[in-house]
Amino acid sequence: MLERVAVTGMAAITAYGFGCAALLSGVLSGKPAFGPVTRFDVAQRRVGVAATLPGSPDLRELLDEVIGQVGAGGPVFLAAHQRMGIGDRTYTSACVAASTAVADAASTIAHGDAQRVVVAAGYLVDPVQFGLFDAGRALAVDGAVRPFSMGRKGLLLGDGVAAIVLEARPRREPMAWIDGWGRAGDAYHVCQPRPDGSGLARAIERALLKAGRPGLDYVNAHGSGSPQSDAAEAQALPRGVPVSSTKALHGQALEASPLIELVTTILAMNEGALPVNAGYLGPDPECPVDVILDEPHAGDIRHALVVNSAFGGANTALVVSAP
Amino acid sequence: MNVLAEAQVSSQDSVPALAGFIASSFSPLVAEVARRCLSGVTPNPATAIVIVSPDGDVETARAAASGGRVSPLLFFQAVPNAIAGYIAAKWDLRGPVVCLEEPGIEGGVEVARIIIRDGDADEALVVFVGDGARAVLVRGVRP
């Protein structure tokens, strides 16, 4: 008999500010957190926009802060671009690092290998990654992220540091349950997604199977805003379910982004309001997705899906249920 | 976990260059040790790829941080997922892709065990890159 996996603590720091309340109010405002990059020189770059906190914060300090907020105890699984001298295991699987860590943590708890696991993740916009994404022509030259939209130009980076606690048999009502998790690969290309989205579809199928195939009320999509990636993802997403990619609001936090999106999804579920898919200009026939437009969707959100994809054809899906 | 195949590349071995990958021996090492490990078996599509290293691809990180104009080729190879994607496509391995920074291969084998127990793969190719490279193809028993 598997243990049910509860989320009992969350902390987040994004360009919207310190704390989960700042993240929730920011994403529900529908106003993207992007602005000119002042942390380092971008004069030679094609794009000079990102979603950043003021100044030049230290990633290790912010990770210590979010882990301190949720409380140490049990193993810590870290998702980051490199080892940070904290945590019992470090996931570096690019844009699915944090969701892979959550899946492994959930499995660890479900099978009774640990009572409590902290998953922490962090990325702060830095000149090296910014230069790489700029050189790779991955950044949106129009300064906006437009997931699943006609005319989308690419992604924009954003600061994101977060921690969550997963526990078996919580002593108080949890913030949410992680009822399903799935991971699958494309076997297609070093950096392009399989166009038919079948790798992501298998990750989603695995997660839904574990969760007992609940009716979904929301999908927090990977939705990077990249032309090929969004079109492939759209083939895999379930139809008839409200979708938004909150990367259009808080930015792409690379290894940490899935955890920011999971925290955002749980906050939105508990608030009963789903964030919009910002930056949308109009439908793209290659992206038949029911995106949330204009203002947050209000309602009783019982089950949500959080999906992520990365270079190498890595895909993950998490099913989250309201308490 | 049953070990179905294993292979090594020593730091003294000559490793073939890999088209599209520059400035670093990390990805060519991963490709070569994976080739040696998989060449004697019939690949199972339900195979995960887990790449483990103590400090990641240090040479690519150094090249990316060297200043000046950055080669677009470094963009994708700056994350170890890229070479995992190369192996996955070449051998049609459709299981999960995971990259870890761990001091030894054992951390990767543990993650492989979790993935297989969850039913997301039947087998896992675990590659460790340190001073040379080592690969093991493992198969687990689902509960």
- Picking from B53, B73, B79 by the largest number of A CB atoms within 10 A of its own CB, the best residue to mutate is B79
Tell me phi and psi for residue A254, to 5 degrees. 50, -120
Please give the residue range of the domain that contains residue A39: 5-321
Q: B97 and A313 in contact by Cβ < 8 A?
A: yes
Model confidence at B66, in pLDDT bands (50, 70, 90)? confident
Instruction: Assess A90–B contact: CB distance below 8 Å, yes or no.
Output: yes
Chain B residues within an 8 Å CB radius of A210: 118
pLDDT (average), residues A36-59: 97
Cα–Cα distance measured from residue A60 to residue A80, given in angstroms and rounded to the nearest whole number: 10
Domain spanning B2-139: CATH 3.40.50.620: no
What is residue A322's predicted lDDT score, i.e. its pLDDT? 98
For A186, the closest chain B residue by CA position comes to B94
Check pLDDT > 80 for residue A147: yes
Q: What is the ipTM of this complex?
A: 0.97
Cα–Cα distance measured from residue B24 to residue B15, given in angstroms and rounded to the nearest whole number: 11
What is residue B118's predicted lDDT score, i.e. its pLDDT? 97
B44 closest CA partner among B107, B135, B125: B125
Q: B72 and A136 in contact by Cβ < 8 A?
A: yes
Tell which A residues from 225 to 244 touch B, by Cβ distance under 8 Å. Answer: none
* CATH number of residue A238's parent domain: 3.40.47.10
Residues B9-18 pLDDT 10s: 999 999 999 9
Residues A90-120 pLDDT 10s: 999 999 999 999 999 999 999 999 999 999 9
Cα–Cα distance measured from residue A94 to residue A136, given in angstroms and rounded to the nearest whole number: 15
What is residue A66's predicted lDDT score, i.e. its pLDDT? 98
Chain A residues within an 8 Å CB radius of B45: 187
pLDDT (average), residues A266-274: 98
- Picking from A92, A128, A139 by the largest number of B CB atoms within 10 A of its own CB, the best residue to mutate is A92
Check pLDDT > 90 for residue A72: no
Check pLDDT > 60 for residue A261: yes
Which residue is associated with the tokens 């109010």?
Answer: A25
Model confidence at B70, in pLDDT bands (50, 70, 90)? confident
Cα–Cα distance measured from residue A311 to residue A314, given in angstroms and rounded to the nearest whole number: 6
pTM above 0.95, yes or no: yes
Instruction: Chain A: give the shortest CA distance to residue B92, in Å.
Output: 5
What is residue B142's predicted lDDT score, i.e. its pLDDT? 58
What is residue A186's predicted lDDT score, i.e. its pLDDT? 98
Cα–Cα distance measured from residue B120 to residue B115, given in angstroms and rounded to the nearest whole number: 6
Q: Is B97 in contact with B85 (CB distance < 8 Å)?
A: yes
Cα–Cα distance measured from residue B53 to residue A273, given in angstroms and rounded to the nearest whole number: 42
Q: A135 and B75 in contact by Cβ < 8 A?
A: yes
Amino acid identity at A192: Q
Check pLDDT > 60 for residue B143: no
DSSP string, B61-84: HHHHTS-SSPPHHHHHHTSTHHHH
Which residue is associated with the tokens 């810590």?
Answer: A76
Cα–Cα distance measured from residue A131 to residue A139, given in angstroms and rounded to the nearest whole number: 10
Instruction: Assess A185–B contact: CB distance below 8 Å, yes or no.
Output: yes
Chain A residues within an 8 Å CB radius of B83: 190, 312
Q: Is A156 in contact with A145 (CB distance < 8 Å)?
A: yes
Domain count, chain A: 1
Chains A, B: CB pairs < 8 Å:
158
Check pLDDT > 70 for residue A157: yes
Q: What is the mean pLDDT of chain A?
A: 97
Chain B residues within an 8 Å CB radius of A137: 72
What is residue B67's predicted lDDT score, i.e. its pLDDT? 74
Cα–Cα distance measured from residue A51 to residue B130, given in angstroms and rounded to the nearest whole number: 35
Cα–Cα distance measured from residue A312 to residue B86, given in angstroms and rounded to the nearest whole number: 7
- Picking from B50, B118, B126 by the largest number of A CB atoms within 10 A of its own CB, the best residue to mutate is B118
Instruction: Chain B: give the shortest CA distance to residue A286, in Å.
Output: 24
Percent of chain B with pLDDT over 90: 90
Nearest to B120 among A132, A183, A186 (CB): A183
For A133, the closest chain B residue by CA position comes to B75
DSSP string, A66-132: HHHHH---S-EEEESSS--S-SSEEE--GGGHHHHHHHHHHHHHHTTS-SEEEEEEEE---HHHHHH
Q: Is A319 in contact with A305 (CB distance < 8 Å)?
A: yes
Residues B9-53 pLDDT 10s: 999 999 999 999 999 999 999 999 999 999 999 999 999 999 999
